[in-house]
Amino acid sequence: MSSTRPDQANTAWDVVIIGAGPAGAATAITLAKFGQRVLLVEERVTAAFKLGESLPPNAISLVKHFLGDIEGSAHSIPGLFRTAGNISVWATEQPEVTDFFFTLTGFGLNVERLAFDEALRSNAVTAGATLLKGVRFESCARIADSSFNWQLRISSDTQTQQHRARYLVDCSGRRAVVARALGILPVPEHDRLFAYAQWFSCAGDDDDPYTRIEAAPHGWWYSNRLPSEESDEIRRLVVLHSDKDLPVAKMAARQQGFDQLLSESTHIAPLLKSKGYRSCGTIRGAPANSQRLQRFCGDAWMAVGDAAQAYDPLSSQGMDKALKRAVTLGT
């Protein structure tokens, strides 16, 4: 169990937040700045895999609110990289360009999630929150005749802790572990959208500043350029979104099938070939279906971000709405 605070004797909190992704970290920043005693609980010590995301220009002000000024150089903020717009191939084979130059900010953002999430968590600690990593939420129970509403049990591989809280916030993503513990379940799924991701790298140059979106008979493709930890290589993320119950999903989960499906794309495959990209690492998968809880809040608890409502990635609303909700908690 790792912690940003050496002293864990104080086990009474105004707010305990389960989940330290963008929703949880941003919520912790807001509440800590208002003087609340906040415990931020994260199950993973380090995350090895997160799909990259794109943020539209209207989300820039939210990123500035939580991470500070990014106007000088987007590369000075970990995990944030400017994009010039979207190129989509949807209804026809003719690409449609959405140019961010004509927006108020003039650019969007591509988000490398591992660095971005860590920057938010660091700011939460700076704001006064206590962060525990490598800790799982086990259970919660109401406390009668007390100034605190909840008794929580959280555990690591080596120990179990008891904490009291006035308020609980579920930011555990699609799993919604707190809500489920309270008997609040997601409404039945209407789709089984799943994301199959493959990273590509090249030693040459790729100055394409656009997010690429392309429709396919079996779903849709997403691609964006990402920075590489190695200075001499450029990475690009390519993701196929398709319903998990379709036969094509079984193909996409394996390298040979993914490559075959990608070769049938009209624009993304030629782009990869022209830049000399090669696949690297293994294909990773993550749920991408729309989902919402039966109830988003109740007596002394609430859900924020994907725990409350998850969106189809095509809408580019998930992170944007999570940050917006975190901002409004202080109003």
pLDDT digits (tens, 9 = 90+) for 148-179: 999 999 999 889 999 999 999 999 999 999 99
Any long-range contacts for 300-303 (C-beta under 8 Å, 24+ apart)?
A: 300/149, 300/150, 300/166, 300/167, 300/168, 301/150, 301/167, 301/168, 301/169, 301/170, 301/178, 301/179, 301/182, 302/167, 302/168, 302/169, 302/170, 303/169, 303/170, 303/171, 303/176, 303/178, 303/179
**Residue-range domain boundaries for the chain:** 2-49+115-188+292-328, 59-111+191-287
Q: Is the pLDDT of residue 1 over 60?
A: no
pLDDT digits (tens, 9 = 90+) for 192-212: 899 999 999 998 888 888 999
Task: Fold for 2-49+115-188+292-328, please state it.
Answer: FAD/NAD(P)-binding domain (3.50.50)
The hierarchical CATH code for the domain 59-111+191-287 is: 3.30.9.100
The conformation of residue 41, written as its DSSP 8-state character, comes to E
Select the more confidently predicted residue: 227 or 201. 201
Count CB atoms within 10 A of the CB of residue 215: 16
pTM: 0.90
pLDDT digits (tens, 9 = 90+) for 230-254: 556 788 999 999 999 999 999 999 9
